[in-house]
């Protein structure tokens, strides 16, 4: 959530920046509601002050034996006026809060300005696209030979868009998760296995509600399935205050993630590319504002290192304003090349959210007797596995359909070093 004070003092500038993310944003209604709210607060304070002063007269007049009926009537009228104004104030505060909660985060000045994702800027790349002297197969074709997943059986169980890994496919998926978690723990992240559901206020704090209500899976008892570990990790310190000396706090979590939009966004994509459920290892940091840019680069480095260790070609893209997520001030997508799709796909998205989530979640820090300040939050996929599995299968395939597996995964796979 954006600080209302910033909007008051820099309305035109803030609006122009927000419109680079969502062109239709108009801050006039928010400014009008804010002005009305402040006027109502002033009126309430003035009436309460007048009521207090008038109430004092009642005691004085009673001591002198004077008639107080007129003053009592005036106090009663003031009370009714204050109550009515309080009701109006409560209504306008709720409307203003709702309007503010639907505003995306401001983009960082380093983010390229464009509404078109095709303008995402290349930061760097690693390795080269694999050169095949045969026609590479799609991972669905490779699966016909290796029986790694079964989308027909998962469709019987749940419907289309849900994965079912089996045999060596399940082993490979599990190996990837353990490989990534081990790496993050060695690099100072505390491993977390969080709940897979969250309360509405936790979803709100992470920026999922109310904006993305239609993309979430909601349970009957007012809990939501985890759409990304970022949500539950942000919730670890909801409405709390860090000791500033304890920052940064770095976490790595594994969870399945659940999202409704899989079918709509990827109707032309086959196989494991876009699922309603997928596995992901998430990096998440709470930090002092002065630390967030350094930590952002560090998290990108960690995601890149995992891909280097897996021997995969990738590129790092600085997302334009129009492609930034709702809560991100800055985001790098790390994309791997998938020969079966003949295009790049994102396997990690690292975002600096500045104080956007912390303001919504009331997450602060303080040093000694100093005034508490909002922390910064950062999140990054480290990494998402379904497309990563696809990348390993499609990039390492041989003419006979065999698939040598990355050396980095061998310690997690026993004698399984090649799919034959």
| Residue positions annotated with a catalytic role | 259, 274, 346, 349, 387
For 308, 409, 412, the CA distances from 171, given in Å and listed in that order, are 21, 10, 9
Q: Which residues contact 372 (CB under 8 A, 6 or more apart)?
A: 241, 364, 365, 366
Answer for the pair 58, 75: CB distance below 8 angstroms, yes or no.
Answer: yes
- Whole-angstrom Cα distance, residue 361 to residue 355? 10
- Whole-angstrom Cα distance, residue 180 to residue 302? 10
Max Cα-Cα span within the chain: 108
- Whole-angstrom Cα distance, residue 86 to residue 80? 10
Instruction: Please tell me what DSSP assigns to residue 113.
Output: -
- What's the token pair of residue 320? 């334009």
Q: Which residues contact 275 (CB under 8 A, 6 or more apart)?
A: 161, 162, 163, 262, 386
- Whole-angstrom Cα distance, residue 250 to residue 225? 23
In the numeric block, the tokens 């169980």 are attached to 157
Angle, CA 4 vertex, CA 101 and CA 20 arms, to 5°:
65
Which of 129, 126, 114, 171 has the alpha carbon at shortest distance from 146?
A: 171
Alpha carbon distance, N-terminus to C-terminus of the chain: 52
């Amino acid at each position: 959530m954006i600080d209302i004070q910033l909007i008051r003092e820099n309305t035109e500038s803030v609006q122009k920046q927000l419109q680079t993310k969502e062109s239709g944003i108009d801050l006039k209604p928010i400014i009008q509601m804010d002005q009305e709210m402040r006027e109502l607060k002033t009126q309430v304070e003035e009436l309460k002050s007048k009521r207090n002063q008038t109430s004092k007269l009642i005691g004085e007049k009673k001591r002198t034996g004077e008639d107080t009926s007129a003053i009592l009537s005036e106090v009663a009228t003031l009370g009714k006026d204050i109550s009515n104004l309080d009701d109006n104030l409560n209504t306008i505060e709720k409307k203003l809060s709702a309007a503010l909660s639907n505003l995306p985060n401001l983009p960082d000045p380093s983010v390229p300005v464009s509404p078109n994702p095709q303008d995402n800027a290349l930061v760097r790349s690693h390795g080269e696209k694999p050169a095949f002297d045969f026609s590479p197969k799609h991972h669905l074709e490779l699966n016909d030979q290796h029986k790694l997943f079964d989308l027909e059986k998962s469709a019987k169980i749940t419907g289309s868009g849900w994965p079912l890994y089996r045999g060596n496919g399940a082993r490979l998926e599990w190996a990837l998760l353990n490989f990534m978690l081990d790496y993050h723990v060695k690099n100072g992240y505390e491993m977390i296995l969080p709940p897979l559901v969250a309360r509405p206020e936790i979803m709100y704090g992470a920026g999922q509600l109310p904006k993305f209500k239609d993309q979430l899976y909601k349970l009957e008892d007012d809990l939501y399935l985890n759409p990304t570990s970022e949500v539950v990790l942000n919730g670890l310190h909801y409405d709390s205050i860090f000791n500033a000396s304890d920052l940064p706090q770095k976490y790595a979590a594994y969870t399945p993630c659940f999202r409704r939009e899989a079918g709509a966004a990827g109707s032309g994509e086959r196989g494991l590319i876009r699922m309603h459920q997928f596995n992901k290892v998430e990096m998440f940091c709470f930090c002092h504002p002065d630390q967030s840019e350094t930590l952002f680069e560090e998290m990108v480095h960690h995601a890149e290192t995992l891909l280097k260790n897996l021997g995969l070609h990738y590129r790092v893209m600085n997302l334009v304003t129009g492609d930034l997520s709702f809560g991100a001030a800055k985001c790098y997508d790390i994309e791997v090349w998938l020969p079966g799709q003949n295009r790049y796909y994102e396997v990690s998205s690292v975002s600096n959210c500045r104080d956007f989530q912390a303001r919504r979640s009331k997450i602060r820090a303080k040093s000694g007797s100093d005034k508490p300040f909002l922390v910064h939050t950062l999140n990054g996929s480290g990494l998402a596995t379904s497309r990563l599995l696809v990348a390993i299968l499609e990039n390492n395939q041989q003419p006979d359909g065999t698939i040598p597996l990355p050396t980095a995964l061998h310690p997690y796979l026993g004698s399984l070093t090649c799919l034959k």
